Structure 1
Amino acid sequence: MIPLIGSPVGEPAPPGRPPRLGELSEADVPFRTGHFLAYAPHDFHRIAYVEWGDADSPYVVVCLHGLSRQGRDYDPLAYALAKAGYRVVCPDLPGRGLSGWLKDPELYALPQYAADMAALIAHLRVPGKIDWIGTSLGGLTGMVLAAARRTPIRRMVINDIGPFLPWAAVRHIGSRLRDAPRLHHNLASGEARLRTVLAPFGPLTDEQWRHIARHSFFPEPNGGFRPHYDPAIGDAFRPGRVYSVSMWRDWDAITCPVLLLRGQHSELLLSDTADEMTRRGPRAKRVEIPECGHAPALLDEGQIRIVTDWMGPAG
């Protein structure tokens, strides 16, 4: 079993207090890793995932990360949902984490991500419908799937993303991704950069930053640490390719219940867009997360409770 922050698992939390990151243990909640092969034109690639909770639970939640992130961001939320009786699956999109890289960088886009996640759902052999939690790009992918006919999604949590994305914010995110160093001399250097570029995640503890950094970089054989993702995922943000994105047609086709989370200072999910999302389509329930931009990290107890209270216990 892979420890959550690269160190031995600590003692269980005292009764009545949720465990900290270092206290999550496989004895408390079953924790597994898995993978399967998904198809892209002319090639198959690996999709890796972490799975929490009872493997036989019919109540399945898929948690999908943002553009340059990976599934281990969801560890504390996945733990909480597994404790509530859910089977929770946190995949890495292609080009991220432990998943394979695509040979054609042009395929790093929503159609491929939606196809891969549909393949994941089939791979999991879910007997009924699933719940979906998506941050940023993970939310857009969920919107595409939820808007489709005969969708397997019964309800959805969308974290700081919407059907309209202003080009200036998209350009900023793309520039930050494309300008990221390809190698850090040590993990501390990588963590320091993350603390700067991911500051909109909100106030995080040192332990939470260490957890994010531990799963954001891989050691290189000749020394140093590289980001966990394929640099080619930034090709879509090259100059001249960035524009405002509108997906209102997808949003209006969604009929399942939706909880919409918005960082108070988000520049990607504008307040006006979030308001409109409560008035049309699935008419989402909106919750504003204070002291955050794009996107709330969903690592602290308060943010996790917003999600778990809305979802309730499995059943």
Structure 2
Amino acid sequence: MTEPTLFFVDCADAQGGHRMGCWQWGNAHSANLVLCVHGLTRQGRDFDVLAQAIVARAGGDVRVVCPDVVGRGESDWLVDPQGYQVPLYAADMLALLAQLQADRAIAQFDYVGTSMGGLIGLVLAGNATLALPAPIRRLVINDVGPTIDAAALQRIGLYLGNVGRFATLQEAADAMWTISQSFGPHTPDEWLALSRAMVVPASRRTADGAAKRAGDATDAPFVLHYDPAIAVPFQAITPEAAAQGEAALWSLYDAIQAETLLTRGAQSDLLSHDTALAMTQRGPKARLVEFAGVGHAPTFVKPDQVAAVTSFLFD
């Protein structure tokens, strides 16, 4: 299987609901599920290499599902941009899990989350009141923790919401590389593959209906795939709100029962080494793997990064 299948999940919100697009690899009838959730400005095709490796390691007996979180990729854009926050994202994952459970009962459930996806994972794994179809067995948190470095948030804020205008895919890939070099070394082919799902025809900013705000529609062939309005709640975060969120995230982390792997770019500016060490000493006492020459965040394209995850899930 060299390409995933795309399906959609209906999710609730106060404005009448939205659809979340999801990419599925492996056996749609398997009772073994691995859910992979991407970072803030990314999308589900980021996990193509890892998903195929998981399927191969499982001998095909696994469903690997990689959603495009709302506002990204094939998913709808929200009418109210204040919804672009972790609580709604976690609710959408519950809707996805309910649909997957209805399709085929989930016997084994593992979760991989990069950055924002890792925070969503903390909510799912650390809140015992949530009605998961099966408890999370193994949890991979990629380069994020309850304490997030403020300087990294400032860096992200400099480009978040700027979807750009690009004449070609290569031009878009080159522009993204200028703000993504912390991902670590990638060959030109690896980076182009990661970039392909990151752009859409500019016409899609007006062609998908009112849910896709298109105030600055352009004649350029390509723009980045996500709703610029995901920046609205991000830029409204106050120091007080950040402190409250940090305390809540530590509380969730301390309640996690799943066996946990924490992966970190050794040069990450978002997850400090001190926070990573604290995560190995409290809560689920995560196993820590750091990747040299990488910042925020490992992409799970390189063989050593893929092997760290697959070994954790299957050994």
TM-score range, shorter chain: 0.7 to 0.9
Helix, strand or coil for the counterpart of 2:270?
A: coil
Q: Which residue of 1 aligns with 2:223?
A: 226
Note the aligned Cα RMSD (angstroms).
Answer: 1.6
Helix, strand or coil for the counterpart of 1:229?
A: coil
Decide which of 29, 32, 41 is 2:14's aligned counterpart.
Answer: 41
Q: Give the Cα separation in 2 of the matches to 1:281 and 1:44.
A: 35
| Equivalences for residues 151-230 of structure 1 within 5 A | 151=132, 152-178=135-161, 180-221=162-203, 222-230=219-227
**Residue 239 (structure 1) shift:** 6.1
**Residue 165 (structure 1) shift:** 0.9
Q: Give the Cα separation in 2 of the matches to 1:238 and 1:135.
A: 20
Q: Which residue of 1 aligns with 2:235?
A: 238
2:117 pairs with 1:138: yes
The answer (yes or no) to whether the contact 2:15–2:79 under 8 Å persists in 1 is no
Q: Give the Cα separation in 2 of the matches to 1:127 and 1:177.
A: 36
The answer (yes or no) to whether the contact 1:175–1:237 under 8 Å persists in 2 is no
Q: Which residue of 2 aligns with 1:25?
A: 2
Amino acid at match of 1:165: I
Q: How many residues align?
A: 285
Unaligned runs of 5+ residues in structure 1 are 1-23
Q: Give the Cα separation in 1 of the matches to 2:26 and 2:237.
A: 45
1:251-293 Cα distance to aligned partner (Å, 9 max, x none): 1111110000010000110000000000000000000111100
Q: Give the Cα separation in 2 of the matches to 1:25 and 1:211.
A: 13
Percentage identity across aligned positions? 41
The answer (yes or no) to whether the contact 2:34–2:65 under 8 Å persists in 1 is yes
TM-score (norm: length of structure 1): 0.86
Amino acid at match of 1:276: A
Q: Which residue of 1 aligns with 2:300?
A: 298
TM-score (norm: length of structure 2): 0.86
Amino acid at match of 1:285: R
The answer (yes or no) to whether the contact 2:163–2:225 under 8 Å persists in 1 is no
Q: Give the Cα separation in 2 of the matches to 1:239 and 1:132.
A: 29
Amino acid at match of 2:96: L
Q: Give the Cα separation in 1 of the matches to 2:136 and 2:16.
A: 28
Q: Which moved more, 1:58-67 or 1:212-221?
A: 212-221
Q: Which moved more, 1:238-247 or 1:258-267?
A: 238-247
Unaligned runs of 5+ residues in structure 2 are 204-218
**Structure with the larger helix share:** 2
The answer (yes or no) to whether the contact 1:262–1:287 under 8 Å persists in 2 is yes
Q: Which residue of 2 aligns with 1:51?
A: 24
The answer (yes or no) to whether the contact 2:136–2:258 under 8 Å persists in 1 is yes
Q: Which residue of 2 aligns with 1:12?
A: none
The answer (yes or no) to whether the contact 1:268–1:294 under 8 Å persists in 2 is yes
Going from structure 1 to structure 2, the CA distance change for 1:240 and 1:248 (only over 3 Å counts) comes to: closer
Q: Which residue of 2 aligns with 1:16?
A: none
The answer (yes or no) to whether the contact 2:25–2:65 under 8 Å persists in 1 is yes
